[in-house]
Structure 1
């Protein structure tokens, strides 16, 4: 086994750890790992990422359910339109994106490049939110806002975006639940895991028949990620959420800049 592949499998463990600690962010690591360490095409990468993150998040969601942390009312109102949007994105939108979108001055914007650039932009936005947004004090005393139009609209937008780039979207879902719906952080993390699990696996089902899948590789990678989520849940008792959030935010920012430079640099 090559060294770069060993790093990739260590990355699978890290994906689970991040999901267990943060309730999201696993796909931020999964997409670059599949694309750059295992040399899988971005389109196939998005499919693999949905399966790994969805399956791993399911484990975390079960543990959160046992603790009574999932707000099913919000999860269903937010998730149902997201499910529909992500399935449509995977089944109908991604397959019709042309291989070459535009060509300007010798620089060709391909489908693979556009997916990775969109992914980098989403990462950039999420990283800045994690770095500069402070946690609310006494957040549990703030009343949750059941703004149904907001949740439905947010679900559709996030569903389409995450469906195209093949991510669970926890790093987008959690800010919506915490900042707009006013859900306490712990419940937001648990509810996000539940939404991610269902949305990702439904999105993955939209790719079945459109892509040949290496089930042996995908199963091994997913099992390692699931082991990581148990480790992440255990470590969450010892790590302060605010410090973890900002550290991960800087990591995501660096990853976003690296992806952008790599994709643009390949065209120069």
Structure 2
């Protein structure tokens, strides 16, 4: 139990410091550190990540940053397609799931090591010209212009996020954040807040789906979840004191090391 609490606290601390997808660290901690299978680890990771994301989503709602209609649409499609991922998670061999997760970690690390250009200005509006993005904000109302193209784009994002969430037990923030940056003109504050709301909703749906499939969270998992929430709160308090680039490089390096360990274990 002490090991589960320690791993949960570390995962939550890193989540609070980096704002990265917690499931990326939660699943390896449960599989490599506690010896759980991928199907056992997935619902615990989703529960922990979803709880932490809910705290950030509530804060974003309080400050009016969440694009709640977009979040609800993405989460709705995620709810529909999450059982598809759960189904395949129970059909695929354990080694195949571990290899898929390792490749996912490598992709996340690569994206974080790339230097992103800083967003301009404090506004929650982006700076793209009208028509450059699939989903554009109305400059007068500050809300999305709900065209058919925009609706289809967000729905497709929700479907993909739901499948990946159910399959690998991750919240999907690593998909939602870059997709929002690429496909909308929302500034980063709004992207992160909206992503947290989607993650919390999809994670909750994924946990319910896993329970329906017969997976249960035992005492070790409960300890991990509680410790991760505590670690996340502590991490959020200290995140402004650590250089952002140092956090990105450190987290990406950690992802690469863990991915190598999981690939090694899957090949045995």
For the residues of structure 2 that align with 1:243 and 1:183, how far apart are their CA atoms? 25
For the residues of structure 1 that align with 2:155 and 2:104, how far apart are their CA atoms? 20
The alpha-carbon deviation at position 15 of structure 1 amounts to 2.1
TM-score (norm 1): 0.83
For the residues of structure 2 that align with 1:142 and 1:206, how far apart are their CA atoms? 36
- Matches for 1:240-259 after TM superposition, within 5 Å: 240-259=243-262
The alpha-carbon deviation at position 114 of structure 1 amounts to 0.8
Task: Name the counterpart of 1:44.
Answer: 40
For the residues of structure 1 that align with 2:259 and 2:34, how far apart are their CA atoms? 19
Q: Is 1:113 aligned with 2:103?
A: no
Q: Is 1:142 aligned with 2:138?
A: no
Q: Is 1:190 aligned with 2:225?
A: no
The 3-state SS of whatever aligns with 1:142 is coil
The 3-state SS of whatever aligns with 1:206 is helix
Give CA deviations for 1:30-86 in whole Å, capped at 9, x if unaligned: 111111111111111112111121122212222222232222132123222122111
1:33 to 29, 32, 52: 29
The alpha-carbon deviation at position 212 of structure 1 amounts to 4.6
For the residues of structure 1 that align with 2:259 and 2:184, how far apart are their CA atoms? 27
Is 188-197 or 203-212 further displaced after alignment?
203-212
- Matches for 1:208-219 after TM superposition, within 5 Å: 208-219=211-222
CA contact (8 A) 1:170 1:192 kept: yes
Task: Decide whether aligned partners of structure 1 residues 220 and 167 sit closer, same or farther in structure 2, where only a CA change above 3 A counts.
Answer: same
CA contact (8 A) 1:124 1:253 kept: yes
The alpha-carbon deviation at position 112 of structure 1 amounts to 0.7
1:13 to 9, 13, 27: 9
For the residues of structure 2 that align with 1:156 and 1:212, how far apart are their CA atoms? 23
The alpha-carbon deviation at position 134 of structure 1 amounts to 1.5
Gaps in structure 1 of 5+ consecutive residues: 99-110
Q: Is 1:170 aligned with 2:173?
A: yes
Task: Name the counterpart of 2:89.
Answer: 94
CA contact (8 A) 1:20 1:60 kept: no
Task: Decide whether aligned partners of structure 1 residues 63 and 172 sit closer, same or farther in structure 2, where only a CA change above 3 A counts.
Answer: same
For the residues of structure 1 that align with 2:70 and 2:218, how far apart are their CA atoms? 34
For the residues of structure 2 that align with 1:77 and 1:136, how far apart are their CA atoms? 28
Task: Decide whether aligned partners of structure 1 residues 239 and 15 sit closer, same or farther in structure 2, where only a CA change above 3 A counts.
Answer: same
TM-score (norm 2): 0.83
> May I ask how many residue pairs the two structures share in their alignment?
247
The alpha-carbon deviation at position 203 of structure 1 amounts to 0.7
Task: Decide whether aligned partners of structure 1 residues 183 and 256 sit closer, same or farther in structure 2, where only a CA change above 3 A counts.
Answer: farther
The 3-state SS of whatever aligns with 1:138 is coil
CA RMSD of aligned residues (A): 2.2
